A and B are shown apart, each in its own frame.
Chain A
């Protein structure tokens, strides 16, 4: 049998017919594309603006509910048109050959082996395992983050401090399919989580938990283990040397979700107040001076921030909670704010009867915000507007769009 390249070439040569000039002149049903500009920016721009307009409609439809005591004054995007975004096919809005990295939980009653990070096209097709950790396909890979060149994926293995040893960060090389563990987590290190590549791909920011497990033995010979002297902080490590440096210190272990500014000079992150029913705020740290600025009020309970690719905005969700522990938490919504804390804008208007939002991330072109809504992945124009359901039918959360 000939080599694979020869076989493919022979197959295409044998099964395609050339199109000649004479064929064109006889072409009976010519298809003249109405819009032939590659990746038509004008049309997309119109749609984005249209979606911003639809925010007004959405506000009425969803019966806007905002706890007035906790939300600072809000401005709204200016509507310009009323094109119904939800009626536009996804193929008109997205490149359907892009990949979305998304964490998928097992279905109810499913096996835990079914959970992990998968790559899926924006129209829900082409589901593939994103990597192989410890010999198991994408098993337990959480919090995916694409490298800026789109060739690697970062994943964590656990949420802060639930397990020990295995809770490291992993980097999947999508060119080779190989996976490597990052940053030795030994000694007082309990777990690493919330990984994020720097804009140049050379560094990774993450949250590290440290502490000491103390084992006790009772009179009956039984035992238990507790975590003592625990602390957390944001660390930044080198992709090449795997040397890591602590950036912030957080004895209450309420720091989450560091994300880089496009310049690489700052990190935005969320930190709770440590209360039994915690409230959260968004902070920005200048990595050169280590100066920290709180950019949202604690009462807004904002978390899971992401920096827009143009550097102008930070999107975040409020009242962070997952479906399994939402309890009596107020309904969360998405907001955006300038990095200096000005110009706060509410982007979604779900009331308490509507699904819970989390994990907002900008698409690499900055035109969309993708986020999880209960078990689905939705998208919304970055200026706000009518959201679209992208990935449904699974138990999806923690999304990141391929660069």
Chain B
């Protein structure tokens, strides 16, 4: 699986990394228990700072998407993925509110908005990358 970053993007690099790894898990490219590169080698391959990769891994570990083993290194959560928590729902609502508001102001109907949401969701779990 390829991870692509844009250093000039508004989204911070660590966040891009977090999103891409979660997308990889969602699409099934990364499966439960799959090993991920070590912080050092991942940073080397991308040519970015070690701390950036470390930050992304730490966040994903805290959320429960990754596990860090002493022997196996970093792996995709082999057990249950974190479920839908109240915090996540809050975050989702918060992020969607700004998008919904802009869609409404631009005159997009709620059907179209819902359709779009649905197709993005489905694309994410079937064909990765097409909704970008």
Whether both chains belong to one complex is answered with no
